[in-house]
């Protein structure tokens, strides 16, 4: 908890001077940003800081079937962020068909780990696998508590709406997109929500605070700013959540 408070304070400061009061920002967007930081604080900034990382790193990419507004999916994404693990995302919004498995009892969350030739369904099984194989063996208590996860998600929905929950008509890209960011950032949430609604597959490059991968990102882009999106289908490289969301909807919306 002692490390959580300064992390939250830095996040809020960054919001105040890096987007919350940007000229022309719609009121609904500002409200969603405030709600995002409030929700992150209520969840003790889960997904903000790298912690509990084990020595083993996956040689092959993990793949997550995910819905942005699913509380169980969020807990998995928070753990992936804290464990500094990159992964491929197959979005499964309500009403979506592109990555839905009709034989599965539930689409989300589901994790495929080719490094152990295993598929794991449900938050509890996925967290046990991630922290057992790639972490120190234990996840944060509230991520494993169903009442806390579900109630926290309801509070977030009241503050942020159902963004990312339902499908929008879209065109499928030939190659998956790539997103750099971390789970608790409300700006990254805006982009993930758009990717989820449009059923666009992407690689999530996690760069939570204290990630050793941040130095390479700054060298690559010249900035320490998130979210950042690259689209290999068009060659576009974009910072700023509002610009990215607008680009995704114009490029892939049907």
For every residue of 157-190, DSSP letters joined together read HHHHTTTTSB---B---SS-EEEEE-TT-HHHHH
Write down the pLDDT at residue 249: 98
pLDDT (mean) for 45-57: 85
Residue with tokens 């700023």: 240
**Of all residues in the chain, what percent carry a pLDDT higher than 70?**
69
Give mean pLDDT, residues 111-124.
96
Residue with tokens 């690689």: 203
Q: How many CA atoms lie within 13 A of 111 on its CB side?
A: 26
Query: What is the per-residue pLDDT across 2-48, written as a single tens digit (0 to 9) for each?
Result: 455 555 455 444 544 455 555 555 554 555 544 444 454 444 456 68
Measured CA to CA, the distance from residue 183 to residue 143 in angstroms comes to 14
Sequence-distant (≥ 6) Cβ neighbours of residue 241 within 8 angstroms? 19, 187, 188, 190, 191, 227
CA nearest neighbour of 51 among 156, 142, 137: 137
Quick one: pLDDT at residue 102? 66
pLDDT for the residue numbered 153: 56
Looking at residue 162, its pLDDT comes to: 65
1-254 carries CATH number 3.40.50.300: no
pTM of the model: 0.80
Tokens of 150: 């579900």
Domain range annotation of the chain:
1-254
- Per-residue confidence (pLDDT) for residue 38, from 0 to 100: 47
- For 196-219, the pLDDT digits (tens) are 999 999 999 999 999 999 999 999
Tokens of 178: 């790539």
Instruction: Check if the beta carbon of residue 54 is closer than 8 Å to that of residue 136.
Output: yes
């Amino acid at each position: 908890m002692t490390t959580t408070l300064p992390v939250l304070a830095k996040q809020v400061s960054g919001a105040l001077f890096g987007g919350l009061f940007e000229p022309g920002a719609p009121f609904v967007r500002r409200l969603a940003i405030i709600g995002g930081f409030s929700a992150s604080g209520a969840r003790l900034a889960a997904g903000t800081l790298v912690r509990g990382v084990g020595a083993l790193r996956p040689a092959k990419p993990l793949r997550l079937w995910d819905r942005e507004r699913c509380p169980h999916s969020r807990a998995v994404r928070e753990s992936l962020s804290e464990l500094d693990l990159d992964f491929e995302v197959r979005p499964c919004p309500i009403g979506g068909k592109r990555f839905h498995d009709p034989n599965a009892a539930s689409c989300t969350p589901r994790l495929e780990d080719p490094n152990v030739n295993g598929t794991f369904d449900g938050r509890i099984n996925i967290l046990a696998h991630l922290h057992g194989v790639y972490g120190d063996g234990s996840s944060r208590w509230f991520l494993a508590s169903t009442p806390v996860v579900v109630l926290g998600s309801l509070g977030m929905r009241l503050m942020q709406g159902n963004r990312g929950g339902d499908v929008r008509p879209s065109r499928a890209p030939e190659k998956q997109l790539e997103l750099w960011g971390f789970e608790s950032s409300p700006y990254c949430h805006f982009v993930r929500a758009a990717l989820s609604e449009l059923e666009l597959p992407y690689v999530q490059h996690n760069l939570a605070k204290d990630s050793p991968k941040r130095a390479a990102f700054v060298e690559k882009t010249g900035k320490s700013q998130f979210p950042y999106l690259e689209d290999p289908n068009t060659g576009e490289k974009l910072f700023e959540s509002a610009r990215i969301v607008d680009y995704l909807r114009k490029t892939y919306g049907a």
